[in-house]
Amino acid sequence: MKTSPKTYHWLFDKKRTRVFYKQKDYVDYCIMITLCFFLLHISYSIHNPVGFLGSIICAYMLVMFPIRHGVNLSAPILIRRPLESVKSVLYRIVNIKSTWVLAIVLMLSDNCFIFLTPNLPHNSQLMRYVALSLFYIHLVYISLYRTLILFRHLQKIPHIQEVLEQSVYSKQTSTIKSTTSEIIFAYLTGLLTHIITLTPWYMTINLLYFSLISAPVTLFLSCLIHQHFYKTKSDWYYRDHWLSHHIEFDFVYLHGNHHDTIPSGLIGVAGNGFLEGFLRHTLGHPTTFLNPVAAFFIHNRTVKSDINNHQYIPGVYPFVTTLETTHHSVHHYGNLAPYGLGLILTEKIHFTNCPEKEKSRIRKLPKAYTEALKLDESISGYCRNNTKFKQYKELVLKFEPKSAESNRPVG
Ligand SMILES: [Zn+2]
Ligand SMILES: [Zn+2]
């Protein structure tokens, strides 16, 4: 593993660090939402219920920004430093890993096979129908889960208010005016992020072809590519996420939405903001270009675990599931580091309640993924026994003692 900070922290310009949206971002925010609106219409169209729903949420976001942050009309970054957006894409291209290239090669090979053998029964239309069905099953399944979490949150408003007031969150933000409205805002942020993050997959299904004949081979190779992605995921994510917090354009246009809510699982998708989801799944994640059946299972697992792993308000469904095994909670309670996945999954092997099946799954995963936190410890200077993490653990111990207890190591 390369562990020099220079490899991960290089920039063409000086750093402009950001963690929260500010009043002065409103014009940029409006441009960003307009871009989201166009993206929704290019991919889904206005006549598609998903595109229509996404557009309504975009309008809601434009109204909510002034209410939550206020407005200070200043020249947008796109006019002040237009090259920042170009550099942002360049950084992402440089950060591309071999698994992304392999996924593109696999998808193009399948399309060449169909094009060169038109007389074979590829059943491309049937494959597209299956892929689209899987796309909608995934979106509906996750949205129902997100809606269930919304109702459980709405049933516990005084509890959520109390938890947030006792956490460092209340000292860092002045955006909370009504807990109910913040819960709904987090839900709609998660829903819109999900809809936009899936646009590359939806466009791939509609613009490219998949052969039924080669499906067993592409499915097998897709699983291999996905497994291999685990080896480089931590490395790729660290750099991508670090950029999102140290380039102002990246924070305001890509990542900011992910930090603009209460720290709840309601926002979970894949750790990204609206347009960041599109960019990452076009120029980072290989999933978009894999066999649609593989993509379906990967998206289901990724989004559901991202929702569960972002529940940092203890005592509320889906409850805290990753107290000692990820330090990403610290990032959502206002600390910049850890920039990486923050995982220390190998700790789980020593937990009292960890099933044998889970232990063997963790042992099979690459260390670069299961011990991703070590990357932060070596290059961002993150210390795992920091005050914010201790405060968060105390919060869980107070409001969800069962989870705090089951996350304890044996002995
Ligand atoms: Zn972040
Ligand atoms: Zn996150």
Domain assignment present for 186:
yes
In a domain, 4, yes or no: no
DSSP characters over 308-321 = HHT--STTSTT---
Last residue of a domain, one of 315, 350, 377: 315
Domain that holds residue 63: 15-315
Is 9 part of any domain? no
Q: How many CB atoms lie within 10 A of CB 42?
A: 11
Cα of 341 vs centre of ligand 2, distance in Å, is 9
Are the C-beta atoms of residues 283 and 325 closer than 8 Å to each other?
no
Return the ligand number nearest the Cα of 245. Answer: 1
Please give the distance, rounded to the nearest whole angstrom, from the Cα atom of residue 244 to the centre of ligand 2: 12
Residue 83 and residue 179 in one domain: yes
- Return the pLDDT at 127: 98
Q: Which of 266, 281, 315 is the last residue of a domain?
A: 315
Same domain, residue pair 118 and 260: yes
Residue 311 domain-assigned (yes or no): yes
Same domain, 209 and 146: yes
Q: Give pLDDT, residue 411.
A: 45
Angle, vertex CA 217, rays to CA 214 and CA 220, nearest 5: 145
55 CA to centre of own chain: 20
Predicted pLDDT at 409: 55
Ligand 2 midpoint to CA 322 (Å): 13
Return the ligand number nearest the Cα of 240.
1
Per-residue CA distances from 356 to 232, 266, 304, 360 (Å): 26, 30, 22, 6
Contact, 146 vs 312, CB < 8 A?
no
Instruction: Identify whether residues 311 and 326 lie together within a single domain.
Output: no
Residue 5 counted as domain residue: no
**Do 44 and 76 fall into the same domain?**
yes
Q: Are residues 22 and 76 in the same domain?
A: yes
* Last residue in a domain, options 253, 288, 315: 315
Number of the ligand closest to the Cα of 250: 1
Instruction: State the ligand closest to the CA atom of 269.
Output: 2
The answer to the question of residue 336 being in a domain is yes
Please check whether residues 359 and 287 belong to one and the same domain: no
Task: Report the alpha-carbon distance of residue 245 to residue 130 in Å, rounded.
Answer: 39
Q: Estimate to the nearest angstrom the gap between the alpha carbon of 387 and the chain centroid.
A: 26
> Residue 2: inside a domain, yes or no?
no
CA 342 – ligand 2 centroid, Å: 10
Per-residue pLDDT 10s for the chain (411 aa) are 557 888 999 999 999 999 999 999 999 999 999 999 999 999 999 899 999 999 999 999 999 999 999 999 999 999 999 999 999 999 999 999 999 999 999 999 999 999 999 999 999 999 999 999 999 999 999 999 999 999 999 999 999 999 999 988 777 666 667 999 999 999 999 999 999 999 999 999 999 999 999 999 999 999 999 999 999 999 999 999 999 999 999 999 999 999 999 999 999 999 999 999 999 999 999 999 999 999 999 999 999 999 999 999 999 999 998 788 899 999 999 899 999 999 998 877 777 678 888 888 888 899 999 999 999 999 999 999 999 999 999 999 999 998 777 666 554
Would you tell me how many other CB atoms lie within 10 Å of the CB of residue 96? Answer: 14
| Cβ neighbours, 10 Å, residue 1 | 10
Residue 8 placed within a domain:
no
Cα 239 to averaged position of ligand 1 atoms, centre (Å)? 11
339 lies in the same domain as 378? yes
Secondary structure of 252-274 in HEC code, one letter for each residue: HHHHHHHHCCCCCHHHCCCCCCH
Distance 126 CA to ligand 2 centre (A): 37
CA of 121 to the centre of ligand 1 (A): 47
**240 & 376 share domain:** no
Kindly state the tokens that stand for 233: 């995921």
Compute, in angstroms, the gap from residue 334 CA to the centroid of ligand 1: 9
On whether both 83 and 231 belong to a single domain, the answer is yes
**Structural domains in the chain (count):** 2
Q: Are residues 351 and 385 in the same domain?
A: yes
> Same domain for 158 and 58?
yes
Query: Ligand 2 being an ion, which residues bring their Cβ within 5 A of it?
Result: 271
Per-residue model confidence (pLDDT) at position 2: 55
Ligand 1 center to 189 CA (angstroms): 15
Which bound ligand lies closest to the C-alpha atom of 339? Answer: 1
